[in-house]
Amino acid sequence: MKLLKGMLLLLTALCLSFFLLWPKLSTATAKYAKETGKKCLDCHKKVPKKGEDPQLTELGKKFLDNGHNLPK
């Protein structure tokens, strides 16, 4: 019984850690900026908030059309 409680506690801690550390949507866009070395405003006219129109620049449109890869 003690082993079962310990395993349940460990499983609960792992699940909680997973959900707390899961990346949010806003960090995904920051991830692209970090990977490409570009600033958010290189592709966006203004930094979009969740649910807003992204208002892309020409570079941003090309980036989107190119499968989230910088155009050559």
Q: Report pTM.
A: 0.51
Question: CA of 23: how far to CAs of 7, 18, 29, in Å?
Answer: 26, 10, 11
- Which pLDDT tens digit goes with each residue over 21-72? 654 444 456 777 787 788 888 888 988 787 888 899 998 888 888 887 778 7
Where exactly are the structural domains of the chain? 23-72
Where does residue 40 rank: exposed (0-12), middle (13-18), buried (19+ CB within 10 A)?
A: middle
Q: For residue 11, list its beta bridge partners.
A: none
